[in-house]
Amino acid sequence: MYRYDEFDHRIVKARVSQFRGQVKRRLAGKISEEAFRPLRLMNGLYLQLHAYMLRVAIPYGTLSSKQMRMLAEIGRKYDKGYAHFTTRQNIQYNWPALKDIPDILEDLASVEMHAIQTSGNCIRNVTADQYAGVSAEEIEDPRIASEILRQWSSFHPEFSFLPRKFKIAVTGQYKDRAAIRFHDIGIEIVKQKSDIGYKIYVGGGQGRTPFIAPCIREFLPKEELLSYMEAIMRVYNLH
């Protein structure tokens, strides 16, 4: 699985420090709730019916045992002893206190995790299927493309303030366990002769107006993935 380099560590640490300052100013009444709301949403923090809810990213659903133990410790230390794995491969804490969020984020950063871009109008967690990397039918492990997309979409300056949330899923084979056609962008890894590429679906979604994504490209060469994604995002942003 992907391991943070120096740059990743630095950027996540800086983000934690930034949010710590924002929470401190909010608690001191120096920022209004109106100004603070988008900031906390960018760090995965919702206010729900009973309490705050923190959504932590688990990129394409892959966790190490060290990360799992930290998630459990956070649940015990700051919450009510449990957490909730979501349908999009994140994890949620349903009862954290606002004052504890910076410490939670710091604990997460220590095991290469964060809550960045798990809420708000941005590109959310890229999801794959639960048998990614072990399925015999896989053309290629979908977590590789998922990681490329994760790095591309994180802090992307052009796509940080979208009209709405945006969701991408990747499947490594024809049998789709990632529900890619219910995502804004669905990517199916395919083979054409000896070349591996991507079949692209766009415009799927659930919610009030569910839609099954149509295919807009039967075979996209690997090297064109990111430029194609940018084209889709720009059309989405424009219209």
Residue 236 in the binding site for another protein (CB under 8 A)? no
CB of 29 to another protein, least distance (A): 4
Q: Which residues pair with 93 in a beta bridge?
A: 54
Binding mask 33-72 for another protein (x = CB under 8 A): x-------------xxxxxx--------------------
Q: Tell whether residue 87 is a contact of another protein (CB under 8 A).
A: no
Instruction: Please say which residue, 52 or 152, places its beta carbon nearer to another protein.
Output: 52
The minimum distance between CB 53 and another protein, in angstroms, equals 8
* Residues paired with residue 217 on neighbouring β-strands, in sequence order: 200
CA angle 236, 35, 126 (to 5 degrees): 35
Of 5, 6, 28, 65, which one interacts with another protein (CB under 8 A)?
28
Q: Which two tokens stand for residue 155?
A: 């802090």
- Contacts with another protein: how many residues (CB under 8 A)? 19
Instruction: Give 49 or 134: the residue with its C-beta nearer to another protein.
Output: 49
Q: Does 194 bind another protein (CB under 8 A)?
A: no
The residues that touch another protein, with contacts defined as CB under 8 A, are 26-29, 32-33, 47-52, 80, 94-99
